[in-house]
Amino acid sequence: MNIKRAFSIIFFFSLIIACKPTYSISETEKKNTRVDHIQQDQEFQDLIKPYTKELKHKTEEILAYTPEDLTKQNYNLQNVFADITYEESDILFKALYQKDIDFVLINKGGLRTIIPQGAITIGNIYEVMPFDNKIVVVGLRGEKMLALLSYLASKPQPISHLKVTRKENRVTEAVINGKPFDFDTTYYVVTNDYLQGGGDNMFFFKNAEEVYPLNILARDMYLNYFKKIDTLSINKTIRYQ
């Protein structure tokens, strides 16, 4: 078949199609069907079975032990993870930048569930910290530090090595690493990249002159810590008054 003839045939069928009437939807009938059971694909289940078994075994691996429930109600969950963040970040900050951490500020919303008394497993840490937030250090001073303290006066969050005294949603005193707050001092604050970007309305972290990435996920930092210890020691120092 030559090209001219092929073109003629295509053109002929195009005319036929063009002459057909067109239709549009004028009304539809909605019908809801209740599904009580979804049949599982056995072949698929057999395929993933070895992987789910391995994952379950991994998440049940015991890292350490806690002598009491870690919950938000009594603040020990927030205190524990803020203190771990301080301890581990200070080691990294010194190694990477030859500087010391002053205090920690993270968000309680980032800690998603409790850890019951007893064994702390890998699965527990993933449940508490399911997000891939990275740890960063931000240098703050002056007005930005005042904004941070003002934020904490009305919205207390997990902190470590910082003690805040409040009255009527105002900070009357702040002690950082055992020393009174100084307006002219640059403080190196550990947080995560979500908050550093202004998350949870922590806008005082945005556009800071000094930002130091520690190149580690918060979750990995916590996993590393619990792998090093046996039984958790809980610091019950009061952080807000």
CATH assignment of the domain containing 139: 3.90.780.10
| Residue 5 pLDDT grade (very low, low, confident, very high; cuts 50, 70, 90) | very low
In a domain, 27, yes or no: no
Evaluate if residue 18 carries a pLDDT over 90. no
Evaluate if residue 81 carries a pLDDT over 60. yes
Mean pLDDT of the chain: 86
In a domain, 15, yes or no: no
In a domain, 25, yes or no: no
Evaluate if residue 31 carries a pLDDT over 90. no
CB 51 within 8 A of CB 192: no
Tell me the two tokens of residue 99.
Answer: 């500087």
Residue 129 belongs to domain spanning: 55-228
In a domain, 36, yes or no: no
Sequential DSSP letters for 110-158: G--S-B-SEEEEHHHHHHH--S-PEEEEEEE-HHHHHHHHHHHHHS---
In a domain, 236, yes or no: no
Within 10 A of 165 (CB to CB), how many other CB atoms are there? 13
Q: Supply the pTM of this predicted model.
A: 0.78
In a domain, 30, yes or no: no
In a domain, 16, yes or no: no
**Total count of domains within the chain:** 1
pLDDT tens digit sequence for 132-162:
999 999 999 999 999 999 999 999 999 999 9
Evaluate if residue 208 carries a pLDDT over 70. yes
pLDDT tens digit sequence for 100-112:
999 999 999 999 9
Q: What is the DSSP letter of 233?
A: P
In a domain, 71, yes or no: yes
DSSP reduced 3-state for 164: strand
Closest-CA residue to 233 (of 179, 241, 112, 225): 225
Q: How far apart are CA 145 and CA 185, in angstroms?
A: 9
Evaluate if residue 54 carries a pLDDT over 80. no
Q: For the chain, give the longest Cα–Cα distance.
A: 93
